[in-house]
Amino acid sequence: MKVALTTLGCKVNQFETETMEGLFKQRGYTVVPFEEKADVYVVNTCSVTSLGDRKSRQIIRRAHRENERAIIAVCGCYAQVAPKEIEAIEGVRVVLGTKERAHIVDYVEKAMQEDGIQGTITDIMQAKTFEDIPLYDSPERTRAFLKIEDGCQNFCSYCIIPYARGPVKSRLPEHVRREAEKLVGMGFKEIVLTGIHLGAYGRDLPGHVTLADACREVLQVPGLKRLRLGSLESIELSPELFALIREDERFCAHLHLPLQAGSDRVLHDMNRHYDTAEFARLIEHVEQEVPGVAISTDIIVGFPGETEEDFQAGLAFVDRMNFARMHVFPYSRRTGTPAAARRDQVDEAVKKERVHRMQALADRKSQEFHESFLGRTMRVLFETERDGVTDGLTDNYIRVYTKDPVKCGDIYEVQLDAIWQDGILGHLPGARK
């Protein structure tokens, strides 16, 4: 039997798809690309934006056209918050939310024997424990994502995710280390810790466990070359984390700290728990604690009630920040959230124009950040090779390309010479480190 899996959305979703892929392999299924004809299609959906919903529906319909007899299983955030919409799509036979994925093969095989829709949507708000599904084998990448937390209790006014993922649920520290050891044993050099609300890791565990504790567990694994963190809230950075980043060269100097808006009024309406002055102080502190750190961020444009004055304030604030990378999103109305019910929605044409202006600033900030490292020599973990050019990442997340002979999966000292494509072209000044 052939199974094809695809993922929409975040790195957490990507990790979860890899665990489900392992469950099918354990049962003897052959995994094939999603574009090929398969007996089973698994679509792991995203519902952060309405675009994610639409893409999920399109992919489901495409799978059905590819093989009308196939079992189509749909899971993830969109399935959790709108299961009836998923069930109504022709060809769908299994619907799971953001739990019960450990049993996806059972539901698929039940669907092969019985008519109707199989699966279950649990009350995610009552879920209290982390769904710990160990990885079965090695994903074909240099960096490995390791999910250690699920759920969020921030309830930002625009966000559907707390309703899709439920409260904070943390992987036990000893299980974090177990999976990290497995990944390093598979040959991975870098591990990226991911979660829906990563900075909240440990809040649900006894004994005052924190994200720093999970990091220590991973850093104790022999053979690990790099540890990187997924998205964090700026107000959740702890002295313990800073100490680890400073003291252990394997801890990457790269932090993704979502700002979301550069206007205090908009931040308040979003139910974000800081203002621009506090965010700026935190960023200044990060830059002092970790010299050369890359700080990336998220910006939502066109939130309900956002005036041109608010937007201009956001542009000015962002321009003062030394962001290495910015992900710019137009506000997407999500049914069931407080922001969706507001009557002062921003016109789509206005949102589009503001996104264009903010993205232009984002491109300039990224260019300035990259240029500030020209002439330096930095350690690069190379990942992929194509047409005689190999690329990889510095610890502060600069994409580096080289035409010199290097081996993917190894770390080299590289001199950064010139801006090239989405990163920097460099050369090896000497022997491999």
| 296-307 CB burial, b ≥16 within 10 A, e <16 | bbbbbbbbbebe
- Ranking 116-125, 169-178, 260-269, 317-326 by mean pLDDT, the lowest is 116-125
Q: Please name which of 122, 99, 132, 154 lies closest in space to residue 19, comparing C-alpha atoms.
A: 132
| Residue 413: band (very low, low, confident or very high) from pLDDT cuts 50, 70, 90 | very high
| Residue-by-residue DSSP string for 98-123 | SS-GGGHHHHHHHHHHS-S-B-----
User: Do 347 and 301 form a contact (C-beta atoms < 8 A)?
Assistant: no
Condensed to tens digits (0 to 9), the pLDDT of residues 113-168 reads 999 999 988 777 777 788 777 777 655 567 889 999 999 999 999 999 999 999 99
Q: pLDDT tens digits, residue range 255-284?
A: 999 999 999 999 999 999 999 999 999 999
Percent of the chain with pLDDT over 90: 84
β-pair type (325-330, 294-301): parallel
Residues 336-351 have a mean pLDDT of: 97
Return the pLDDT at 130.
81
Task: Supply the mean pLDDT for the chain.
Answer: 93
- Quote the pLDDT of residue 433: 46
* Residue in 121, 135, 120, 165 with CA at minimum distance from that of residue 15: 135
What would the pLDDT profile of 213-237 be if each residue is shown by its tens digit? 999 999 999 999 999 999 999 888 9
pLDDT at 209: 96
What's the mean pLDDT in 325-329? 96
Beta carbons of 326 and 365 less than 8 angstroms apart? yes
Tell me the domains of the chain and their CATH numbers.
2-122 (3.40.50.12160), 143-371 (3.80.30.20), 377-427 (2.40.50.140)
Q: What confidence tens digit (pLDDT) does each residue in 64-108 have?
A: 999 999 999 999 999 999 999 999 999 999 999 888 888 999 999
pLDDT exceeds cutoff 90 at 377: yes
Claim: this prediction has a pTM higher than 0.75: yes
pLDDT in tens, 1-44: 999 999 998 888 888 999 999 999 999 999 999 999 999 999 99
DSSP letter at 355 equals H
Q: Would you say residue 309 has pLDDT above 70? A: yes
SS3 5: strand
pLDDT over 50 (residue 374): yes
Average pLDDT estimate for 44-61: 92
